[in-house]
Chains A and B, each alone.
Chain A
Amino acid sequence: GENVEQHPSTLSVQEGDSAVIKCTYSDSASNYFPWYKQELGKGPQLIIDIRSNVGEKKDQRIAVTLNKTAKHFSLHITETQPEDSAVYFCAASMEYGNKLVFGAGTILRVKS
């Protein structure tokens, strides 16, 4: 079955700097790659996603890139703010938003 690895497990950045979180997946049949942000005591919130027919997608300060050949995808957050501090999860699926396989998560701390 699909396996998703996520790095780093923790990331500390200074406010205003960029943050990059990387994931790899094992099953080339996966075609959908969402990123979720989870704050303490809350459920995961979808922040951006990308489908396998696209190499890059951007939404304001957040961007995601996908390299299907290498089976890598990455989350890029620019101009980080303290409210970006949370746990971020990548995921992969062969059925869009269904039967998601998650990475282990990255704790992002933005220091002001």
Chain B
Amino acid sequence: ETGVTQSPTHLIKTRGQQVTLRCSSQSGHNTVSWYQQALGQGPQFIFQYYREEENGRGNFPPRFSGLQFPNYSSELNVNALELDDSALYLCASSLLARGTEAFFGQGTRLTVV
């Protein structure tokens, strides 16, 4: 087990709705990254948060947004859900300044209908 926990584990939403996914990072880690993994594909980097600020973003539209809290936990928010947003959303934590490995949570399976 990595110590990275995500909630909820599964979620079903309707197209056009908004969703919030949560992640608690591993103890001692100050950086949280979010990835989207479509079925049968590798994870794709959405964005990273370090010290409560966005620190890099992949090729995702602004309706994907996030937050990091003082305890380093994080939220991923997706507005105006589209069918193609159906995927496994993964959170990874690391320690940015020391160049450490990234450890992933078990993911949240989002289905948009």
Interface residues of A (CB under 8 A from B): 4, 6, 32, 34, 36, 41-46, 49, 89, 91, 95-105
Bound CA–CA A96/B98 (angstroms)? 9
CB neighbours of A32 from chain B (8 A)? 99
Q: Who on chain A is nearest to B47 by CB?
A: A99
Q: Say yes or no: A102 contacts B99, CB within 8 Å.
A: no
5 A–B contact pairs at CB < 8 A? Answer: A43-B107, A46-B103, A98-B96, A100-B102, A104-B42
- Would you give the shortest CB distance from A76 to chain B, in whole angstroms? 20
Q: How many residues does chain B have at the interface if contact means C-beta atoms less than 8 Å apart?
A: 28
Most A Cβ at <10 Å: residue of B33, B35, B42, B94: B42
Bound CA–CA A100/B45 (angstroms)? 7
Identify which of A49, A95, A97, A102 contacts B43 (C-beta below 8 A): A102
- Would you give the shortest CB distance from A61 to chain B, in whole angstroms? 20
B14-73 interface with A by 8 A CB criterion: 31, 33, 35, 40-45, 48, 56, 58
Q: Say yes or no: B42 contacts A98, CB within 8 Å.
A: no
- Would you give the shortest CB distance from B66 to chain A, in whole angstroms? 14
Q: Who on chain B is nearest to A93 by CB?
A: B102
